[in-house]
Chains A and B, each alone.
Chain A
Amino acid sequence: MCGPFWRTGRTSLPTQTNKKLGLVIDLDTCVGCNACVTACKGWNTENYGAPLADVDAYGEAPVGSFLNRIHSYEVQPDQGVAQLIHFPKSCLHCEDAPCVTVCPTGASYKRVEAGIVLVNETDCIGCGLCAWACPYGAREMDAGEKVMKKCTRCVERIYNENLPEEDREPACVRTCPTGARHFGDLSDPDSAVSQLVADRGGIDLMPEQETKPVNQYLPPRPKDTATDVLAPLLDITGEEPKGFLGWLDKTLKKLG
């Protein structure tokens, strides 16, 4: 790292990363099944850093850390029916990560390698300032270990040559049953994920916060107009049905 001395601390952001490994999350395809949440919790409890706490898991006030959570939103367009959209949210590994620069100890850092934002837990004093600096709620203080937990992009999976090649991607991506999560290099305009973002008009979350998130979200596609073949049979003010439906209408009337 080079530059003026006041920009060369460990929590200063790298001027450039060699790749931007990120997720592309398809809000059109996600069904909100929480498989990615479970896979993430499972993998990250057994791997990088301290296990993810589950305090009072069967008691009155259970609380635990998760690196990935799924919100659900109702969106009502000006015309037409409301849509229900499931919205997975985890660390977006921002280029201008505000969580990194506020860290007083150097525990939070952004790797030049692939731009992954990590927490060195043995340096973390648990002050919580990084979680305050993150607009997305991607960091959670672990209730058990009192250190900050966040998505590691499954850094110990994606480079792990002991795993079969198809498993060298984040646990959430590997497990998603609907293919709503895509993983790749977003700095390469020819990569599959970059192409997907270009085709579907991928967006940044909270662009006005100027964090330059690496992860991209694909907005839901417009819905088809509803087709319901049996609806005319229930429409008491409708016209008399013709053809097959007309025959069915008459037959049903005879029954009643």
Chain B
Amino acid sequence: MSVPVAWYLVLAAAMFAVGTAGALTRRNGITIFLSIELMLNSANLTLVAYSRLLEDRTGQIVVLFVLAVAAAEAAVGLALFIALYRHRRTIDLDRVNLLRW
């Protein structure tokens, strides 16, 4: 039997929720970054699921763009973490509060 598309959407919602909770609770910069990747990934799953339901390939192409943006974001973000670590010897985001408030 074939799987209803709504199940994929529920799975994507669950993964998004896990990513949200991770991004809010963790202090390690890398883990927060990984949580954001999780959220991007669940958005991708939603796009592909709707593209299947609506028989429209646009969703798949948007996923391609999201992949590229995620790659760019990962490159710049990790470079920032390297620069931060060089200055502070930590990437614990609770202890990096120079620009806070």
The answer to whether A and B interact is no
B interface residues with partner A (beta carbon < 8 Å): none
